[in-house]
Chains A and B, each alone.
Chain A
Amino acid sequence: MIALKTKKKSGHSVLARKQNFYAYLFILPAFIFLFMFLFMPISTAFVKSFYRYDTMSVNQFIGFKNYVKLFTQDPKFWKSMLLLLYYFVGLIVCFFTQIITAKFTQSVVNMRLQKIFRAAFIVPMVVPGVITLMMWKFIYYPGTGVIARIAAAMGMAQSPNLLGNAKTVNAALIFAGFPWVAGTSFIILYSAFQGVEKSLTESAAIDGATGIKTFFLIELPTIMPQLKVLFVYAIIGLVQQYEKNLIMTNGGPNNASLLPGLHMYKLAFGGTEPQFGYACAVCMILFVVTMVSSIFAMRYKEEQNG
């Protein structure tokens, strides 16, 4: 009896040890990659944010000087943070368009037509972003672009240069990509609307609720968890966004469309003297901002799962 028990126990522990070994072996590659190329960069950013560093000749510890400079002598940075608020308004408009389009696509009765619309909104999202942005730049070109042609047809004497004018550049950048549907959030929203229990909406319809009423009282509350997560992710994406502005305006004219991420990028690569250390300090601040938003996202996600 005792012998049997020990045998069973030791057999179990051999198996467990074997499983332990293979498990660690199998997760090792993933964690090596994550450590090398996600954890290390963050650590580097943290360390180098206390340095004056240009990757070549200068590498000097300067304590909190980068942060002091960032908080007291960098109006460009604070202007770019304020600009984020402007883009935030644009984000809300995009978000509503996505919700409405997803809902409408899901409520097309003819399934064939519904699938065509769905494909039309999903397919463009796999085209390299550069191409879409370049096409929008092409649309905005003064003189030859689509906007210029519309302006000329309406009898405007001077061709508008939307991207070249500090007053219009940010509105034009936000508008680029109109109607902002092609994207992962469309797929998620569309599926979320599909997931709403048919019995709920149908019984509401029998009770005489209109489509609009059903939408606000039943469907929207049901998909609220997904909405919250998508919205928080959209904000995180916004704080990180600079590719669009880099490609279309490079922050110009006269830094009018300089977003914080692009400010950081140009500190490192834009000027004659690369300021990697200072860029790392900006990186750390933006990192903290996005992490705080991410923690909110995680909390919503847990609510959604639980």
Chain B
Amino acid sequence: MVKRKWGAGQLCIVAFLMLMALATLFPFYLMVVTSTKDPMGFIRNFWGVQIPVVWKNYAQAWDVIRIYVFNSFKVTLFTVIGVLLVSILAGYAFAKLKFKGRNFLFYLLMMFQMIPVSLILIPMLINVNGLGLNNTHAGVILPQIATSCIMPIMLTRGYFFSIPDAIFEAARIDGASELGIIGRIVIPISKPVLGSVCLFTFFGSFNSFMWPYIVLSSDELRTIPIGLNKLVGQYGTNYGFQMAAYTIVSIPLMLLILATLRVYVEGMNLGAVKE
């Protein structure tokens, strides 16, 4: 074992990383400090926090974005449930059931993964129009399930694959149906991977911009990213208000990822390296 010690090299590395981390977090520092100011405070004191903090910014911002937050949670909840259902079922079938054309269909699935989603939004809108789902939440949710379910299927398939076959055979001999096996055996022992799937889908859906932006035209249906994008024009140069809205949205998301960092990173590696 060569023991690495704190030397000049380590100091340089840590100093470099400090700079990078500060630069990465700087916009969020600016966001939070600006959210504490009224327009006068913004002119007088750009870099720091205004004391006393103008809490009114937060109250006003919450009033405006409340509906967008609600819409986002609604859309995200249905997307996550949809992706979970689709990926548990398909992952189980691909991992543990033998059927004709399994390899071919799995290959087909991987082909679908290559379709560049942000390029096909315009024809997708034509289709969603045709289904009569334009300017509805279903018009956001259903395509979003389709575009975000492939990686989860790969993840669940990989995970289910590692469950010993003997468990399933024993359950089948005891007369359990396939759905019963999924509900009683597969889901309870697959919590880590299902947690990753939930997290990826949650963040992906909550933060998605382009597709909801194209589909939703009524203000009362807008999700958070679009609502925030609209704030700028409407409220002009009241930066405190604008930044308060950004802060209300960002901080809970950042805390959520901090709390679930391990699951998130592990899931990411499963998806990226193994498949």
Contacts and interface: CB of A to CB of B under 8 A. Distances in A.
A23 B99 CA distance: 7
A125 to B, nearest CB: 8
B254 A264 contact: no
Q: How large is the interface on A (under 10, 10 to 19, 20 to 34, 35 or more residues)?
A: 35 or more
A33 B112 CA distance: 11
Interface stretch (A76-84, A158-166, A282-290): A282-290
B17 A131 contact: no
B269 A26 contact: no
Given A34-B109, A123-B254, A27 B127 contact: no
A13 to B, nearest CB: 12
A261 interface: yes
B108 to A, nearest CB: 8
Interface string B8-27: 01100110110011011101
A108 B224 contact: no
B207 A294 contact: no
Given A130-B225, A138-B30, A187 B268 contact: yes
A181 to B, nearest CB: 6
- The majority secondary structure among interface residues of chain A is helix
A234 interface: no
B138 to A, nearest CB: 12
Given A108-B14, A122-B261, A136 B209 contact: no
B207 A247 contact: no
A206 B6 CA distance: 18
Interface string A113-140: 1000101111110111111101110110
Contacts of A19: 97-99
Given A120-B21, A179-B20, A242-B118, A191 B265 contact: yes
Determine the main DSSP class of B at the interface with A.
helix
A246 B115 CA distance: 21
B116 interface: yes
A52 interface: no
A121 B265 CA distance: 12
A12 to B, nearest CB: 11
Contacts of A228: none
Nearest to A97: B20
Interface centre among A38, A108, A109, A226 (most CB of B within 10 A): A38
A274 to B, nearest CB: 10
Nearest to A16: B98
Given A181-B24, A283-B122, A294-B114, A33 B127 contact: no
Nearest to B85: A29
Interface in A79-126: 97, 101, 104-105, 107-110, 113, 117, 119-124, 126
A51 to B, nearest CB: 10
Interface in B245-267: 246, 249-250, 253-254, 256-258, 261, 264-265
A267 B268 CA distance: 36
A226 B92 CA distance: 28
B36 interface: no
Given A109-B10, A130-B207, 14 more contacts: A20-B99, A33-B86, A42-B120, A121-B20, A122-B261, A128-B206, A134-B246, A135-B27, A191-B269, A192-B273, A239-B116, A279-B122, A286-B119, A290-B114
24 contacts: A23-B98, A27-B94, A27-B105, A37-B143, A37-B145, A38-B146, A41-B126, A44-B127, A45-B122, A107-B13, A108-B13, A122-B265, A123-B254, A127-B207, A128-B206, A128-B249, A130-B228, A146-B30, A178-B23, A187-B268, A276-B126, A287-B116, A287-B119, A297-B114
Interface of A: 16, 19-20, 22-24, 26-27, 29-31, 33-34, 36-42, 44-45, 48, 55, 97, 101, 104-105, 107-110, 113, 117, 119-124, 126-132, 134-136, 138-139, 144, 146, 149, 178-179, 181-182, 184, 187-188, 191-192, 195, 202, 205-206, 211, 226, 236, 239-243, 246-247, 261, 264-265, 268-269, 276, 279-280, 283, 286-287, 290-291, 294-295, 297-298
Interface of B: 1-2, 4-6, 9-10, 13-14, 16-17, 20-21, 23-25, 27-28, 30-31, 34, 42, 46, 85-87, 89-90, 92-94, 97-100, 102, 105, 109-110, 112, 114-127, 129, 142-143, 145-147, 149-150, 153, 178, 203, 206-207, 209-210, 214, 224-226, 228-229, 232, 239, 242, 246, 249-250, 253-254, 256-258, 261, 264-265, 268-269, 272-273
